[in-house]
Structure 1
């Protein structure tokens, strides 16, 4: 099963994903694998603080992996079995992809997301995995003032649409409260 959790910054997405993962893990006797998509380079003090908060909020029984590239995440998914896999978050995967591919357009990101989804579907069927993907909603705010930011918002919006379409369950977070969309 693929579960998608979308919401604004600090809306409770990661916390809710953890609650769902814990429930599935206990009910189905599965491990929890947490894929953090931010590669900590030690340069951004505010981001380091966020990472530490996330680390303190998750149990030390979780298997944590750091993968910042969408194709690296996709390739790792086939190696994991009988687990609940949290990908936190699609926002950074798309950002990292965009940073490496400045001329990327919707077809590029669509292709990468489709490859990841293919691995997710294989992981569900073949490896008995459940997936929870977290992402930020970027379409609710103001239109970014510069071209690069608008292109990034377009790419992330498209990626979010693809994941939402293929998810079995989809939640939108409002101030820590999940609203089930499907």
Structure 2
């Protein structure tokens, strides 16, 4: 990669292949975190985290499980565990709805001082076709479907940011503008979640 030090290294989808053996999974996560702690002490990485698609929703692990694993790996309460990454979008709505009530992995990770990154904020582009102009207008009047969709993600309490790709400079600017606008107010976010769950 041409870099002497990585800012953040993710353990990617550790729940895959766990076959329901939660204790074995947590043991494997702790082993990986031990290697990451060593890499951090050697100056190879600044921090590490978990990138998961279904780890939190399936109950494979919790934020507290990860904090505990990191402390065991470090042999201390001072660890290099820095972030979690999980899908947050209008299809994967549960993390947003939970965060609005100070619960779920987004709120728990933020409360533990971790960064929280949303993956797939447009659900791999699927939401571009699913969000109607009427829904976009309800979410944020005057916004495009993409901007309205990203506005909900950007307004999720406790979220650090989102990981997304853009095919053109105009798409990038539209996404950037959506994240730079003021957050959607909490009562309206709750209304949005109610409408989408109906």
TM-score range, shorter chain: 0.3 to 0.5
Larger strand percent: 1
Which structure: larger Rg? 2
TM-score (norm 2): 0.36
Greater relative contact order (CA < 8 Å, ≥ 6 in sequence): 1
TM-score (norm 1): 0.38
